[in-house]
Amino acid sequence: MSQSVVIIDYGSGNLHSAAKAFERAAAESGIASTIAVTSDTDAVRAADRIVLPGVGAFADCRRGLDAVPGMVEVLEEVVRGKGRPFLGICVGMQLLASRGLEYTVTEGLGWIEGDVSLIVPQGEGLKIPHMGWNTLEARHAHPLLDGIETGPTGLHAYFVHSYALAAAHAEEVIAVTDHGGPVTAMVGRDNIAGTQFHPEKSQTLGLRLLANFLRWKP
């Protein structure tokens, strides 16, 4: 029986790339999955797994999400209330935070306590935005990292961002990367996970992580 995976369309994110990456991960892993890009709250309510992408400024993404009638309420219902597996990607991960501090103060979903603030790299020659390929340093074991080599010789993930989530609770930081100091790369708690990097652009690492998400039974 095929499971349903919805990628939420709220006017932000690499929707086509994300859908294609999920389809490839499902096919290569033999995981029967139907992948849909949608802004339909009924489809989100019925889905087995939910993905929230995001590209751009925090405040713009939050406004876009709020502009889809009932979407935030449905997410609260099925993710927080019913425990459906959830993955936020890039700004979709940042929206899990308490607040975004990009240009203005914007309330996040509040699922991961902490603020999203400007990266201030400590070191010469390091630029913002943080853009390019980096390895991950796992801070805690997590099913989404199963079979993924981390550390200095590990697989690389693709990042492009100027702001990062500073989680209030260290146990909710799954992995960091280095850009003149540790920068949050993955967060999670219970059935909720998020990646600052783009798994849909992260080749081997990304496909393994997406396959792990499709298998994940939190």
State yes or no: is 90 an active-site residue: yes
Q: How many helices (H) and strands (E) does the chain have?
A: 6, 14
The number of C-alpha atoms within 13 Å of 139 and in the hemisphere containing its C-beta is 18
Q: Which of 23, 28, 90, 161 is catalytic?
A: 90
Note if 179 is an active site residue. Answer: no
What would the DSSP string read from start to end of 77-130? IIIIIT---EEEETHHHHTTSSEE-SSS-EE---SS-EEEEE----STT--SSE
The two tokens of residue 55 are 């590209």
Of the candidates 130, 142, 179, 198, the residue annotated as catalytic is 198
Rounded CA-CA distance 81/75 in Å is 9
CA angle 148, 153, 156 (to 5 degrees): 55
Concerning whether 198 is annotated as a catalytic residue, the answer is yes
Residue among 102, 130, 161, 200 flagged as catalytic: 200
How far apart are alpha carbons 196 and 82 in whole angstroms? 25
Which residues participate in catalysis according to the annotation?
A: 90, 198, 200
